[in-house]
Amino acid sequence: MKTYISQLKDHIDGQVTVSGWLYNSRASGKLQFLIVRDGTGLCQCIVEKGSVGDELFAQLKHLGRESALTVTGTVRSDDRSVGGFELALTDAEIVCPAVDYPITPKDHGVDFLLKHRHLHLRSQRQWCIGRIRHTVIDAIRRFFNDSGFTLIDTPIFTTIVGEGEQTLFEVDYFGTPLHLAQTGQLYLESAAMSFGKVYCFGPTFRAEKSKTRRHLTEFWMVEPEVAYIDLDGLLELAENFVSSIVQRVLTEHKSELETLGADIEALKKITPPFNRLTYSQVVEILISEKCVDFMAGQLAGFNAEKTELEDQIKALEKEVAGGVKKWKQEKIAAEIAQAKARIAELEVKIENNPKHARLAAEFRWGKDLGGSDETIISLMHDKPTFVTHYPREVKAFYMKTDRANEKVVENFDLLASAGFGEIIGGSVREDDHDILLDKVNKEGYNPETYQWYLDLRKYGSVPHGGFGLGVERTVAWITGEKHIRQCIAFPRMMDKVYI
C-alpha cells in the first residue's frame, strides 16, 4: 500500500510502499540503514542481506545521497529510529540515482549553501523552517478569516509612496515610472470604508540599503486595516493575532521546533496581554540608571560566557593532547569549532555593548528608536512589547496626530521578545482632511497623486487604523533562526540575488 512517512503510525506491522529520496545511508556488512525522506518526514529503512536480491542489495549499498527511490517493506515501531518507526525493506526501485550530491552532512558556508539553494531546500533544517512558515501563513489567514475580515488584494505596481521615497524600486511601466509596492495600506484604507475589516497579504519590495540579518528587499507582509478602531483596539488585535500564530506553531510543529533548537518554553509564554510602553517611557528607561546596570549586566554575562568557553576549549585541547581515538578527535574538533564560533559572536556583542549603552544614555526625546535601542527594550522583557506614541516628525505622514498631545502620533511598534526587535509597525490613520493635506504638502508629495487618498477623508471619514507584520521576521523569531534569509525559500538581499 502506497503511503507517506507521516502516516506510518497507522500501518504498524503492515506492508507499505514509500516514494522519496535517499537522505543518508550507513552500511554495516550485511546490513544497511537507509534514511529516506518523502517530504512528510524521515524514515529509517533496514536492508538485510537476503531480504532483498543480492543485486539490489549491492545497488542500494552504492546509491548516492538524494537518489530518488521507492521502497517497500514492513513497518516496525522502534525507538532507535528517527521518528520512532522503521521499515524492514523487502523491495526497492531506484527511480533515479544521484551521483556526487554536493551538499554533505558536514558543515558548509553560507555562500555555498545559497548558491545551492535549489538543493539546500531539501535539508532537514530548511524543511522544518518551510513547514513552520507554511503554518504561520495559514494561521495568519485563519485568524483574519475567522474574525470577519475580508481579503483585499492590493496592487504591486503602485503610484503612491507609503513609507519613504528612498526605498522604492522603480519600474518602467510602458514608459511611465511606477514603483513596486512597499505597502498595501493606502489602498487598504479605501477598502476598509467598504468592508469594515480588511487585510492584504503579499510580497513587499523595499530598496533599503540594509545588509543585516533582519532585512530582505523582497519580503512577505500581512496588513489588516479596520474602520472604527482606536489605538487600544489595535493593540488588542495585534496581541491576539501574534499569540494565535505562536500557539498554532507550538501545537503543530513541536518536533520541528525541537530540531531547530527553538526556545519552546519561551514561546509558551507568548500570550495576551503584551507589555505596553509609550515612546516617552522608553526614552526614560534608555537614559536611566536601570539601563546602565542592565547593559553592564549584559556585558558581564557575555564576558563570563566567553571565559567559560575559552576554558572549555582549553580542556578539550588538553584531552586531545592526552591521546584519544581518531573519531573522538573529530568530535572534539567539532565542539571546539562550535565554541569558537560562539566566542566570535560574543566578541561582536562585547564590542557593540558600550556603543549601544552610550547611544541609549545619550538618547534624546524626538529621535527615532534605533535598532540597538529596540534590542535593549526587547531584551528587558520576556513577552513582546508595544511601544506607542512616537514623535510625529520621525513617523510617516499618514499617522494620526494625537489630539491630546500634538507632538506625537497614535502609532505603535511591536518589539518581539528575546532581543529580536520589531516585527510589527502600525498606527491609527489621520482622518482629518486638512491635517492630512498639510502633511502631504510638508512631505513634498504631489497632492494630485494623493487626491483619491484625501478623498477618503471627505466622504464619511471615520477613525481607522491597522498594522503590518513581516512574515520572515516572525518565522525567524519563532524558530530562533539567526538570519531571516533562511526563512524564505529564495531570498533577495540588498546586493545579492542567488537563483
CB of 221 to RNA, least distance (A): 6
Distance between CA atoms of residues 427 and 409, nearest Å:
8
Binding of residue 206 to RNA (CB under 7 A): yes
Task: State the cell numbers at 37.
Answer: 525522506
Write each residue from 335 to 354 as x if it is in contact with RNA (CB under 7 A), else as -, in one continuous string: --x----------x---x--
Tell which residue, 477, 352, 401, has the closest CA to residue 231. 401
Alpha carbon of residue 259 to chain centroid: 16
Distance between CA atoms of residues 125 and 135, nearest Å:
16
Write each residue from 296 to 335 as x if it is in contact with RNA (CB under 7 A), else as -, in one continuous string: -----------------------------xxx--x---x-
Strand partners, 178: 171
Q: Which helix (H) or strand (E) holds 404?
A: none
Instruction: List binders of RNA among 64-93 (CB under 7 A).
Output: 64-65, 78, 80-82, 86, 88
Task: State the cell numbers at 481.
Answer: 533562526
DSSP, res 444: T
CB of 182 to RNA, least distance (A): 9
CB of 422 to RNA, least distance (A): 5
Distance between CA atoms of residues 195 and 184, nearest Å:
16
Q: Applying CB under 7 A, which of residues 57, 187, 199, 219 lies at the interface with RNA?
A: 219
Distance between CA atoms of residues 192 and 114, nearest Å:
40
Residue closer to RNA (CB basis): 50 or 323 = 50
Residue tagged 501563513 (cell numbers): 137
**Residue count, binding to RNA (CB under 7 A):** 80
Binding of residue 422 to RNA (CB under 7 A): yes
Instruction: List binders of RNA among 222-261 (CB under 7 A).
Output: none
CB of 434 to RNA, least distance (A): 25
Q: Using CB under 7 A, which of the segments 94-102, 145-153, 232-240, 445-453 binds RNA?
A: 94-102
Distance between CA atoms of residues 288 and 363, nearest Å:
10
Residue 104's alpha-carbon distances to 26, 114, 126, in angstroms, are 14, 14, 15
Residue type, 109: G
Residue closer to RNA (CB basis): 148 or 261 = 261
Instruction: List binders of RNA among 18-57 (CB under 7 A).
Output: 24, 26-31, 33, 44, 46, 48-50
CB of 459 to RNA, least distance (A): 27
Distance between CA atoms of residues 10 and 18, nearest Å:
14
Binding of residue 358 to RNA (CB under 7 A): no
Write each residue from 137 to 166 as x if it is in contact with RNA (CB under 7 A), else as -, in one continuous string: --------------------------x---
Sequence-ordered alpha helix ranges (H) in 33-123: 54-61, 110-115, 117-120
Tell which residue, 213, 225, 216, has the closest CA to residue 162. 225
Residue closer to RNA (CB basis): 33 or 195 = 33
CB of 174 to RNA, least distance (A): 28
Distance between CA atoms of residues 362 and 379, nearest Å:
19
Binding of residue 118 to RNA (CB under 7 A): no
CB of 109 to RNA, least distance (A): 3
Residue 140's alpha-carbon distances to 106, 137, 146, 286, 484, in angstroms, are 36, 5, 10, 33, 18
CB of 297 to RNA, least distance (A): 19
Tell which residue, 79, 108, 112, 74, has the closest CA to residue 91. 74
CB of 257 to RNA, least distance (A): 18
Residue closer to RNA (CB basis): 332 or 460 = 332
Q: C-alpha dihedral over 44, 46, 52, 54, to 10 degrees?
A: 110
Binding of residue 168 to RNA (CB under 7 A): no
Q: Using CB under 7 A, which of the segments 98-106, 173-181, 257-265, 313-321 binds RNA?
A: 98-106
Residue closer to RNA (CB basis): 107 or 317 = 107
CB of 168 to RNA, least distance (A): 12
Q: Applying CB under 7 A, which of residues 13, 444, 495, 499 lies at the interface with RNA?
A: 495
